[in-house]
Amino acid sequence: MSETARLDLQRRSRIGMVEAIWGEHKTAEQIAGILLRLHAADELALATRVDAAKADTVRQHLQGEACVGQLQFHPDARCLSLGAPAPLRPELGEVVVLSGGTSDLPVASEAQLALHWHGICCEQLLDVGVAGLHRLLGQLERLQQARVLIACAGMEGALPTVLAGLMPQPVIGVPVSVGYGVSAGGQAALHGMLASCAPGMSVVNIDNGYGAAMAALRILNSGAAAAAGPLP
């Protein structure tokens, strides 16, 4: 298996998050080799953007390895994991990942899985887009319990703006490549979120559920560090 990847095995100790494997443009052999190296280093092993066919091929490459039974494909999130996630850290607080519609599920699930893999309590709240605003308004009491909100939306991408106008927590918008015509593969949602009139809202790239999860993780870790006070 290929040893060409230069892995950042100190990333979690340095900045609090693991180096995920971008699986879409890697071969199954490359993914299998990197997963094995991460697992051997006792590091979290997560590959994003992997479809079912590639996941099966990765499993074939790992046949005969003692850890093959710990390989898990997460179809909703289009991710592969090897081993166990980090222990839950409920003291950091909870993240809620919202989606405008069920078409946003793969991106929302990627965000949720990435947070779960880092030990963060995370829940999905699906199909609360602004086309039926009452669905979102009925969930505000539930959302008050979260430390960070991640809002995934396609079409015109209005959900994060509405959410940031209603709730005080950090809101991270994720434009999703869903929508007709001028939605342009998520460009309309991205531009709408970047032009949001809701102050303090953050935006990541199109379909970047993992990036949104890591932004939320930085917020939670920073809050924990601030609460702990300065180092002696």
119-140 pLDDT, tens digit per residue, is 999 999 998 988 888 999 999 9
Averaged pLDDT for residues 202-206: 96
Tokens of 116: 């779960």
Q: Is the pLDDT of residue 1 over 50?
A: no
Alpha carbon distance 85, 65 (integer Å): 19
Ordered strands of the 202-203 beta sheet: 121-125, 94-99, 148-153, 171-175, 202-203
Alpha carbon distance 168, 147 (integer Å): 9
Q: pTM value?
A: 0.88
Alpha carbon distance 38, 45 (integer Å): 6
CATH number of 90-224: 3.40.50.1970
Contact yes or no for 49/26 (Cβ under 8 A): no
pLDDT (tens digit per residue) in 95-124: 999 998 888 899 999 999 999 999 999 999
Alpha carbon distance 111, 208 (integer Å): 8
Alpha carbon distance 28, 204 (integer Å): 27
